[in-house]
Amino acid sequence: MTKVRMGIIGVGAQGSAYAGFLSEGKVENMVLGAICDIDPAKKQWAAEKYPDVSFYDNYIAMMESGDVDAIVTCVPHYLHPEMGIEALKRNIHALVEKPAGVYTKQVRELNDFAATKPELAFGIMFNQRTNPLYQKLKEIIDNGEIGGIRRTNWMITTWWRPQGYYDQSAWRATWEGEGGGVLVNQAPHQLDLLQWICGMPKKVYSNVKYGYQRNIAVEDEVTVMLDYGNGATGVFVTCTHDVIGTDRFEILGDKGKIVVDDSKKITVKRLIKPERDMSDTMSMADVMKIFMGGNSSEIFNEEVIEFESVWGAQHIAVMENFAAHIIDGTPLLAPGSDGIHGVALANAIHLSSWLGKEVELPVDEDLYLEELKKKIEEEQKQPLTK
Ligand SMILES: NC(=O)c1ccc[n+]([C@@H]2O[C@H](COP(=O)([O-])OP(=O)(O)OC[C@H]3O[C@@H](n4cnc5c(N)ncnc54)[C@H](O)[C@@H]3O)[C@@H](O)[C@H]2O)c1
């Protein structure tokens, strides 16, 4: 195969952007194979914009048409696992959008099925993993440059969304249609990066507010305490109602500290010797000397690295990597099976707030699903009027 023919399932906001990238030849070794959507208006749209590309209103028919080698699932989150499975069953490569699903039980089914088809590509659109900043950050941590992690703090409140965003389609911000709010729609990127770079916590305790500043059923405000089980702790804050949002990620280690500002700048402070050695050898007089106008280079050296990021380039990079994996076995930047970690975190954060207590990971999948179904039932009995 020289070019992968991609079938896009769902041409709403995201799928239509991918159709544009592919039809404009922006994705190396990948072309637009076919388009699928259940909305008749999209059929009309596709006929005008892409008259030479086959359109399907049934994704199974598209997979069985012979028009596509791979699919990408640009549809509401609940549908990603079943579409991934149906594609792989038909020997079609599957790239699922984030999040991998709404609850881990359905994502596990996808992962288990994908494991039976190792010859097929199974990836996930974690586009921020292509950001050189996060790749560098992971490298610094993996190399042990700041030692073992003691604390992680990520405040990511730059996901501002007005009420009109939630009102634009019926599935958004409902338990039944979307399965959650900021934790399943916007923050999955950071939940993935957090676990990719710093590992999974063992326990979480959360304070989550549902419909706090927006007329929605699901969460728009989240504060979580993370416990990594080895003494290390963390705080993760996100929301969709902060117009002047903050994106600041700090990682404190035994041998230094990293601050990431606005996903654009990394400041790494590497201690001259590990903090514990300093504690064992330095007196309070040394501390006063250094912190009261002394020379900080006696304690740490500082490196600042700045990055540029262009919207769209990251998504194209994931698709190019996916095509390269199919064509020549290039390793995937974001293997599909990794998607379960962020979903597990989001589920644990929801569950902690619903039960009002700290919960351990992995969470009880059946309990999570039972509680989620209760939310859906409540919503069906008392729908929000938007
Ligand atoms: N990676 C990213 O940066 C990123 C950004 C935005 C959205 N997304 C993800 O993409 C997905 C879609 O989001 P969106 O904002 O494009 O939503 P959207 O509502 O704009 O579009 C969804 C489309 O899917 C279609 N659809 C629904 N059910 C279908 C089915 N069974 N078969 C075929 N088509 C179907 C709808 O008709 C609609 O056109 C979500 O999971 C979202 O999380 C990812």
Which residue CA neighbors atom 28 of ligand 1 most closely?
A: 75
User: What confidence tier does 376 reach under pLDDT thresholds 50, 70, 90?
Assistant: very high
Give mean pLDDT, residues 301-322: 91
pLDDT at 383: 84
pLDDT at 286: 84
Model confidence at 85: pLDDT above 90: yes
pLDDT at 385: 76
Q: Ligand 1 in contact with 86 (CB < 6 A)?
A: no
Write out 287-330 in H/E/C secondary structure. Answer: HHHHHCCCCHHHCEEEEEEECCCCCCHHHHHHHHHHHHHHHHCC
pLDDT at 309: 72
- For a substitution probing ligand 1, which of 85, 86, 97 has the most ligand atoms within 8 Å of its CB? 97
Higher pLDDT, 90 or 287: 90
Give mean pLDDT, residues 318-337: 98
Q: Ligand 1 in contact with 39 (CB < 6 A)?
A: yes
Model confidence at 295: pLDDT above 90: no
pLDDT digits (tens, 9 = 90+) for 173-223: 999 999 999 999 999 999 999 999 999 999 999 999 999 999 999 999 999
pLDDT at 58: 98
- Distance (Å) from CA 269 to ligand 1 centroid: 41
Return mean pLDDT, the chain.
96
pLDDT at 169: 87
Give mean pLDDT, residues 30-37: 98
pLDDT at 298: 83
- Distance (Å) from CA 223 to ligand 1 centroid: 27
Q: Please state the atom number of ligand 1 nearest to the C-alpha of residue 171.
A: 19
Q: pTM for this structure?
A: 0.96
pLDDT at 386: 64
pLDDT at 247: 98
Q: Ligand 1 in contact with 14 (CB < 6 A)?
A: yes
Give mean pLDDT, residues 325-338: 98
